[in-house]
Amino acid sequence: RPFKRNQTAHKMQAFATPEQAFHEALKAKGGVDLGTSIMACRFNGGVVCGSDSRTSTGSYVANRITDKLTQLTPNIYVCRSGSSADTQILSDYVRYFLEMHSLELDNRCSVYTAAHMLGDLAYQYKEQMQTSFLVAGVDSTGPHIFCVPLGSPVIEEPWSIGGSGSSYIYGHCDATYRENMTQDECIQFVTNALSLAMQRDGSSGGVIRLAVMTNDFKVERRLITDPPSFSRASTACKTARRRLGLLSPPALSPSLVFLPRFPLFVVSAPGRAARSP
């Protein structure tokens, strides 16, 4: 018992500063987690995948403009959730293997091949890594979406969601999804679902990044800096931020990246002057 108390005191003394304590906790945790919201949906001419842009480490937001959509081939994207380092290294390996595979075939790789290759690697290191993926793309057989969750099963679905924010929007997606949607309807469906997840999930936020892949093997990337709001309080907050110049929908300015989510003002009572917090 005395040894444990001395050991604890030694650790507290060694990591007395907040910076040292943060890095030690990050090391013990195993890396930066992507508390996230990712989604992919198929329409009658291709597939749309999207994600938020917040990378969190517990309650600390490590990055507000992360790109969680990684291009494996010119016609296949993967949405990443889980440990940031683990998902990045697996995606890099799969991209390399798919490049070699396409050179051997002298043809485009199929989405089925990319998903199962990623699932095999994730299963091989399932004890060391914490990963979850959505593989979406188009090939000669049309658009496909494969879900590769924890445990690494590979499941094909017409639409799929993942990440910490997905638990808030399953009912919305079940009630809203329709087969054979047009491209614009599918984009709106994915955007609304991710916006709802970002409003409820504290680990999701920032902007919405989309990748639209069509059957003619064209890829379009979109950035939505002003996601739609569905609650009265959120709409009022966003309106106030826009009036103060803290929110500019046309472009993502560098100053927006580090601004707090809520406006920095206090509404004063009648007869009193407003004070800055």
As a whole number of angstroms, the distance between CA 10 and CA 175 comes to 55
Cα–Cα–Cα angle for 15, 18, 19, rounded to 5 degrees:
85
Which helix (H) or strand (E) covers residue 72, if one does? strand 69-73
Helix (H, G, I), strand (E, B) or coil at 259: coil
DSSP letter assigned to residue 255: H
Half-sphere exposure of 156 (CA within 13 A, CB side): 11
CA distance 122 to 136: 17
> Which is catalytic among the residues 8, 17, 36, 131?
36
Kind of pairing, strands 155-156 and 142-148? antiparallel
Active site residue 182: no
Q: In a 3-state reduction of DSSP, which class is residue 1?
A: coil
Q: What sign does the dihedral 119-121-126-128 (CA atoms) show?
A: negative
- Joined tokens for residue 270: 């009648």
Show Cβ contacts of residue 136 under 8 Å, excluding neighbours closer than 6 positions: 40, 47, 48, 49, 76, 77, 78, 79, 111, 143, 144, 145, 146, 211, 213
User: Residue 228: what residue type?
Assistant: P
* Helices first, then strands: H and E counts in the chain: 8, 13
- The CA distance from 70 to 252, in Å, is 20
Residues recognised as catalytic: 36
